[in-house]
Amino acid sequence: MNSAMTILDTIGDTPLLPLRNVVPPNGARILVKLESRNPTGSMKDRMALAMIEAPEEDGRLKPGGSVVEYTGGSTGVSLALVCAVKNHPLHLVSSDAFSKEKLDHMRLLGAKLMIVPSENGKQTEKLTRDMIREAHRIAAETGAYITAQMENTDQLRAYWTLADEIWQQTGGRIDGFVQSVGTAAALRGISERLRQHDGRIRMVAVEPAESAVLSGGPSGAHKIDGIGAGYVVPLWHDGIADETERVSTAEAKAMAFRLAAEEGLFCGTSTGANVTAALRLAERLGPNAVIVTIMCDSGMKYLTTFSRDLEP
């Protein structure tokens, strides 16, 4: 074993698992990339590492330099892990709209946390913009490096790697890819690379039905952690996806509960949204097709939130 190895070396190379029970009878085969197997239980470990390594390599982030970010939760936890290992003090701006487990996890990994109050515990465009403004203020006042995930293209290389893993694991047999949109970096990076392998793969973006701005709807409030900023984010462009699916908070949560009970996959609501949209695509593409989507994170990040919906 390499004595220089750290927890960061375990990021990536996650399994690809077929769904067995939560599938339409005559639909396409659906494969789920288990990003919950990353160290913090989230796909965001990949992008957090890329967003720190790139500025370290080119000198934008000095050894021991401080980092600032705004986050709905998973990115903050992942950055806290990376910064703890690499000895970068981290200041995060988040909100009470996001799961308590994520906020606690950030603090436990050593991050300093500012909480921006939400309206009724829901994510809105105003909340997103308030968090971004506070993070930029802190960076300006302290001179810290801001990773600014909504506009950071350093993270794309992490998703090119994820796409290459999917291509290799499917043996190049993939007809559709489905992913929910937060910063848009994941779908943008994965779709770019998969299309290099095969331009016929159908790319589907997923957004909250209550705030379906990518498909022309009004901005609104929702409770699907990590996606649906409430406005068209800077990294998005219309060529990223071939179509956009709207999934409600209720549909996403119901599917997350089904995945736990019927597949043994304990996931968050963004994964529930992904699988809901993948099932719709599976019915359209038919039984000979293969669709890949992402298990974005572990349901362990949402225990407090989910427990409110369980019967005693």
Q: Catalytic residues, which ones?
A: 44, 270
Contact, 120 vs 221, CB < 8 A?
yes
A 10 A CB-CB count for 286 gives 12
Rounded (10°) angle between helices 185-197 and 156-169: 50
Beta bridge partners of 179: 205
A 10 A CB-CB count for 55 gives 17
Contacts of 250 (CB under 8 A, 6+ apart): none
Q: How far is CA 47 from CA 26, 31, 38, 71, 297, in A?
A: 36, 22, 12, 13, 14
Contacts of 22 (CB under 8 A, 6+ apart): 255, 258, 259, 262, 263, 275, 279
Q: How far is CA 287 from CA 23, 25, 247, 274, 296, in A?
A: 11, 9, 23, 19, 25
Three-state secondary structure call for residue 46: helix
Three-state secondary structure call for residue 114: strand
Single-letter code of the amino acid located at 255: M
Residue 146 DSSP label:
E
Q: Which among 259, 264, 181, 185 is positioned nearest to 224, based on CA atoms? A: 181
Cα 185 from Cα 223, distance rounded (Å): 20
